[in-house]
A and B are shown apart, each in its own frame.
Chain A
Amino acid sequence: MKVSFPYMGSAIVYKKLFEFLEHEVIMPPKPSQRTMDLGVKYSPEFACIPLKMVMGTYLEAIEKGAKVLVTSGGHGPCRAGFYGDTHRNILKSLGYDDVEIIIFDAPQDNWRAFFRNVQKIRNGVPWHKVINRMYTLYRFVQKLDELEKMVQKIRPYEVNKGQTTQIWNQIQEKFDKIKTRKQLYKVYEECKQMLLNIPTREVDEKDRIKVGIVGEIYVVMESSINFGIEEILGNLGVEVERSLYLFEWINDNLVPWILRPKRFKEIIKKGQRYIKILIGGHAVETVGHIIDFKERGFDGIVHLMPFACLPELVTQSLIPKISKEVDIPILSLPIDEQTGKANMLTRIEAFVDLLRNRKRGKTKEVFIDNIQEHVQEERVVMV
C-alpha cells in the first residue's frame, strides 16, 4: 500500500512505523506556504488551522502517489474528532474516490474498530515481527525525543549561531536511515556526542531562563506553523521544553493503562484544579502542564492556540487567573494562516525581557543591564 500520514513534528517516526510494517511510504512534504494555500482553499473557512494544514498535506501526499492516509482521530468533545471524516468527505468531493483514510480513534472508546484498523495496516506482517519492530520504534521515539530535549537546552548557549539546529537536522537524517535496534543505540550515542561537542557559553544558573510551551498538539509539535517558536526562543537565549513529546504521547495514549507512567495522571489531576471535565483539545493537559512547569522552576509559559479552537479559548480565559494564582507569566499566541512574523516576534521578545527582569530582581539598573545582553544577542542575528 502507498501509505502517507499528516506531517507533525519529527515525521520520520511515522515514516519508520510504516516502513516497519513493510508499506511503501510516501513521505508527506514538510508543511509550506503551498500546503497552507491548498489546505485553506479546500477546507471550511471556520475550521482551525490544524485541519487546514493537514488537508493541504493530504493533497500534496496524494499528488506524490499516496493511496492510503493514516491518521489519529479524537477522544472527547473536541471537534478534531470529526476531522478525519471531514477530510474524507472533502477528498471524496474532489474526486479522490480511490484514496482511503484510516482513522485511529482512542482504542478504549471502541476496541473492535481499533483492531480492525490495526489488521488493515498490519499488512500481513507476522505478529511476532510486528511486536518486535514496534518495540524498536518505541525506543526510536524515546531516543529521538531525548536528543531533541538536549537540543532545546544547548541551543540558547551555542557559540556559533545556528549550529545546534544544523546538527539537529543531521541527527534526523541519521535516524531516518536506522533499520534495527542495535543501529539505533549506536546512532544515538554518536548523535549525543555530536550535541555535546557543540561549543557553548558558560551561563550562570541564575541567568538561565526556562520557558515551557503548552497548547494544542498540532501547533505545539509542528514548527512550520508556529514560526519555529522553539528556535526563536532558543536564539534569544531561552531554554525551552514542550508539554508534548511523541514518546510521552505514546505512553499516555497507546501503552496499556497499567503500564502507563504516573506522570500523565498527575498532570491531568493538576489541570482539573481549573477545568473539571475533559473538553478535548488538550485543554486540561495545557493547564496541568502550566502548573507542572511552574513547580519545576520554569520562568514563563508560551501558550500556543489555533485560532478559533474552543478548548484553547477556554484555557486562554482561565489564564489570567492561573497566572496570578500560580505566579508565572503566560503569553498566549493565537495561530492562524497569517505569516506576518513581526508582531509575533515583538511579543516574544518583550516577554523574554519581562522574564529576565523578574528573574534578576526588581531595580531599574537591572532593567538596563539585561537589555545590553539582549542587544548583543540581537546584533548577532543582525550581522
Chain B
Amino acid sequence: MKEIYIGVDVGSVSTNVVAIDRNVNVLFKTYIRTNGQPIDSVKEGVKQLKETLGDVEVLGVGTTGSGRQLAAAILGADVVKNEITAHATATIHFVPDVRTIFEIGGQDSKIIIIKDQMVVDFAMNTVCAAGTGSFLDHQAERLKIPIEQFGDLALSATRPVRIAGRCTVFAESDMIAKQQFGFSKAEIIRGLCDALVRNYLNNVGRGKNLEAPFVFQGGVAANMGIRAAFERELQTKIIVPEHFNVMGAIGSAILAKDYIEKTKARTNFRGFDAADIDFSTSSFECKGCSNRCEVVKVSMDGKVIAMWGDRCGKWTNSL
C-alpha cells in the first residue's frame, strides 16, 4: 500500500489538496474553487484524492492557508502552518537556490525573501487587493474574456498601453478611457498586466532587495501575460515551478512529513470517511468578560470538535 502525506491549502479563492510520498514526489494534486464553501471544498478534494490513488496509508496531514484551522479540524491535521512558511518550504525543496518568491493568490499577494534556504524577510499586500488575482478576475469579467485566455491575449498585443495600477477604481476608469481612445482589448490587457506587476513590486516589494533567482507561483502564475510583464520589468528570467498553483499545499505536506518522521508520532488523520461526515461551523460572542471574543465552533455530526477565537482559552480548553 502506498504511504502518503497529505497537504491542504484552503485559500479564499481555491482549495488545493496534494499527496506526496516519502521522497516528495507529487502523486496527486487538485485545485478546487472554494466558492465560499471551505468545508465542502476540503471534503471534495480529499474524496478526489481517494478516488485517484485508491488504497493508501496516510502517514501525516498538514494544512495551511486562511482556512487552515477549519481544515485541520475537519481532517485531523498534524501540522497547522501559515502559508508563508509553507510556500517557502515547498519552493526551497524544488528550487534550492531560490532567493525571491513571488506568490500571487486570490486575496493576498506576497514576496518572500530567502537566503541560505531560510526565510529572512517577507511582505504581504497591506490593506487593498489591487495587486491580486481577484483584481484580474474582476477585470476579465468586465471585459467579457474568460480568465484562462487572459494571458494569451495579453501576449498578442503589439503596442504597450499605460494603465494606472494603484487602485481598482482608478484602473477601471483608466481602462475605459483607453478603450475610448481606440486601443484593442489585447493591448489594454497587456497594460493591465504591466500595471499589476508594477503595483505589486512597488507596493509589496517596497524597500526590499529583490535578487534572482526569482520563483513565481500561486494561481496567477498560470497567466502568461503576468509572467511576461514580470520578465519585462525585472529584465531577467523568472522560474515558474511545475506545481506552481499548489505549492502551499505541497509545503504543508512536507512540513507534516518532517514532523512525523522526526517525532515518530502517529497521525491524527480522521480517515477518508471524513468526507461523508457532516461538519458545520457556527460562531457566537462570548459574554464572559469585556473582551467579547467571537468564538468559532466546529461540530462533527452535531458534536463540537473544535473551538477557537477566545482569547482566554475558556472555550478552547473546554473540550
How many chain B residues touch A (CB < 8 A): the figure is: 50
| Closest partner residue, chain A, to B268 (CB atom) | A379
Contact B208 A353 (CB under 8 A): no
The answer to whether A228 touches B311 (Cβ under 8 A) is yes
In angstroms, Cα B69 to Cα A129, docked, is 55
CB neighbors of B among A134-178 (8 A): 160-163, 165-166, 169
In the complex, what residues of B have CB within 8 A of residue A125's CB?
A: none
Instruction: Assess whether A375 is in contact with B124, with CB atoms less than 8 Å apart.
Output: no
- Provide the residues of chain A in CB contact with B282, threshold 8 Å: none
Interface string of A352-378 (1 = CB under 8 A from B): 011001100010100111011011001
In this complex, what residue of B is CB-closest to A33?
B292
Q: Which residues of B contact A347 (CB under 8 A)?
A: 84, 122, 124
A343 contacts B by Cβ under 8 Å: yes
Inside 8 A of A228's CB, which chain B residues have their CB?
A: 291, 311
Q: Which of B16-24, B41-49, B231-239, B302-310 lies on the face that meets chain A?
A: B302-310
Contact between A372 and B118, CB atoms less than 8 A apart: no
- Mask, A322-345, CB within 8 Å of B = 1, is 000000010000101010001101
CA of A172 to CA of B291, assembled, Å = 13
Complex formed: what's the CA distance from A230 to B259 in Å?
28
Q: How far is the CB of A330 from chain B (nearest CB, A)?
A: 10
Which parts of A299-351 form the interface with B (CB within 8 Å)? 307, 317, 319-321, 329, 334, 336, 338, 342-343, 345-347, 349-351
Q: How far is the CB of A288 from chain B (nearest CB, A)?
A: 20
Q: Are A383 and B66 in contact (CB under 8 A)?
A: no
B1: CB under 8 A from chain A? no
Contact A371 B259 (CB under 8 A): yes
Contact with B along A27-39 (1 / 0, CB 8 A): 0011011000000
A165 and B307 contacting across the interface, CB-CB below 8 Å = no
Whether A367 contacts B316 by the Cβ 8 Å rule is: no
Say yes or no: B108 contacts A329, CB within 8 Å.
no
How far does the Cβ of B315 sit from chain A's closest Cβ, in whole Å?
10
Q: Are B119 and A354 in contact (CB under 8 A)?
A: yes
State which of B28-36, B71-79, B156-164, B179-187 sits at the interface with chain A.
B71-79
Chain B, residues 244-288, CB within 8 Å of chain A (1/0): the string is 000000000001001100110000000000000000000000000
Tell me whether B316 and A381 are in contact (CB under 8 A).
Answer: yes
Q: Kindly state whether residue B312 has any CB partner on chain A within 8 Å.
A: yes
Given contacts A354-B119, A371-B85, A372-B262, contact A382 B72 (CB under 8 A): yes
Chain A, residue nearest B206 (CB) = A320
The answer to whether A346 and B124 have CB atoms under 8 Å apart is: yes
Is residue A231 contacting chain B, with contact meaning CB distance below 8 A? yes
Give the complex CA separation of A382 and B75 in angstroms: 12
Q: A169-B312, A368-B262, A375-B259 are in contact. Are A350 and B118 (CB under 8 A)?
A: no
CA distance A378 to B305 in the complex (A): 16
Question: In the complex, which residues of chain B have a beta carbon less than 8 angstroms from the beta carbon of A382?
Answer: 69, 72-73, 80, 306, 308
A residues near B69, Cβ cutoff 8 Å: 382
Nearest Cβ on chain B to A211's Cβ, whole angstroms? 16
A346 touches B312 (CB 8 A): no
CB neighbours (8 Å) of A72 from chain B are none
> Looking across the interface, which residue of chain B has its beta carbon closest to that of A329?
B121
Which residues of the partner chain B approach A329 to less than 8 Å between Cβ atoms?
120-121
CB<8 Å pairs between A and B, sample of 5: A162-B314, A353-B84, A367-B117, A375-B81, A383-B319
Apart from A162-B316, A329-B121, A378-B81, 11 more pairs, CB < 8 Å: A161-B316, A163-B313, A320-B207, A347-B124, A353-B119, A358-B120, A368-B262, A372-B258, A375-B79, A383-B73, A383-B306
